[in-house]
Amino acid sequence: MSQPSGILHQGTQEERGENARLAAFVGAVAIADLVKTTLGPKGMDKILQSMSRNHDITVTNDGATILKSIYIDNPAAKVLVDISKVQDDEVGDGTTSVVVLAGEMLREAEQLVNARIHPMTIIAGFREAAEAARDVLISSAFNNVANPTRFREPKRIENARILVANTAMDADKIKIYGARVRADNMTKVADIEAAEKQKMRAKCERIISSGINCFINRQLIYNFPEEIFADAGVMAIEHADFDGIENLALVLGGEITSTFDEPDKLKLGSCKLIEEIMIGEDRLIHFSGVPLGEACTIVLRGASTHILDEAERSLHDALCVLQATVKVS
C-alpha cells in the first residue's frame, strides 16, 4: 500500500502492482461465487433485505436483480455488475451465466499471471479460444425451422389414440435433496443420473409401444420424458385435474392407467380430433368426435368476473332444474 499522491483527496489510498491485481481478482471472483449458487436446475433463490426504512424483502435467483441490490466498492467487481446489467438490457436472460463465466475466466487468468505470463498474452489467448468455441458451436448447430412437426410436439391430431394415466414422470432427475447418496467422485453421480434416465426412457417406450399418439397424465411430465414423446410424435398433456381426467377418460372410452408392463392390455380412448384452441387469452385443448357424444363443455363469457360468477350460478340452477325434469319424466 503506497502513500496517496497529490492529485487524490485526503484519506484516499492507492494500490499498485501486485496488490491492485490481487484485489481485482478477489473482488471479481467473490461476485461470481455470490451468484453461482443460483445457476442451473438446482439453483437456489437469494433472500434480499433492503436497507430502506421499510426493509423490503425480495426473493429471486435473477443475477442482475441480485447484483444491483448490493453495495460494491471493488472496481473489478463493478465491471462484472455492469456486464450483468448490459446482458439484462440487451438479451433479458443469461445475467448470471455471464458473471459466472467471467469469474471463472479471471480465476484461471490469476494462475496464468502467477506463472509470469503477460496479461496481454492471456487476453490474446482468451480471444482465440472464444473464436474457436464460436466456430465449434456454429458448426454443431442444426436448423429445424423447415420441419416444425419434427422439432415440436404436434398441436393437432386426427383419429387420436389416447392413453389416460396417473403416473409419476419425474424420475429423470437424481434425488440429491432428501436422499443419501454415497459417491467418491462426480462420475459416479453422473452414472446414477444416467441410470435414472434409462429407467424413465424404458417407461416412456412402453407407453409409446401401446400405439398411442396422445398421452394425458394427471401428474407433471418433466423435460426428459417430454422430449421422448415429442421425438415419437406423441402429444403429451400434463397436470390434468383429478375430476377432469376421470370425466375425460369416461367420454373417451378409456381407463385411467398407472402401470404399463403389458401395453397390449391397456384400454385406450379415442376421438376424431384433438387441437389446441384459444378462448380469450387462454389456451385450451379441445376434444371433438368422442365416443360418448353426450358430453360437452359450456364456455361462459362476460365483461367481468362478477358477471361470470352470476352467469355460472344461473347456469347451475338451470341445469339442476333440467336434471330434475329429466328424472321425473
Q: Which of 76, 50, 82, 49 is nearest to 63 (CA)?
A: 82
User: 129 pLDDT exceeds 90?
Assistant: yes
Percent of the chain clearing pLDDT 70 (strictly above): 87
Q: What is the mean pLDDT of the chain?
A: 82
Other C-beta atoms within 10 Å of 32: how many? 23
Q: Dig out the grid coordinates for 283 from the structure.
A: 389456451
**Which of the four pLDDT bands, split at 50, 70 and 90, describes residue 126?**
very high
- What would the DSSP string read from start to end of 3-61? PPPTTSPTT--B--HHHHHHHHHHHHHHHHHHHHTT-STT---EEEE-SSTT--EEEE-
Question: Per residue in 209-268, pLDDT tens?
Answer: 888 989 988 888 888 888 888 888 888 888 877 677 888 888 888 888 888 888 778 888
Mean pLDDT of 64-92: 84
**Please, are residues 203 and 228 in contact by the beta-carbon 8 Å criterion?**
no
State the pTM of this model. 0.52
Please state whether 17 falls in left (phi above 0), alpha (psi between -120 and 50) or beta.
left
In tens, the pLDDT along 151-190 reads: 566 678 888 888 988 888 875 455 555 566 677 777 777 7
What are the tens digits of pLDDT across the range 216-230?
888 888 888 888 888
Please give the DSSP secondary-structure letter assigned to residue 184.
Answer: S
CA 324: distance to chain centroid?
A: 48
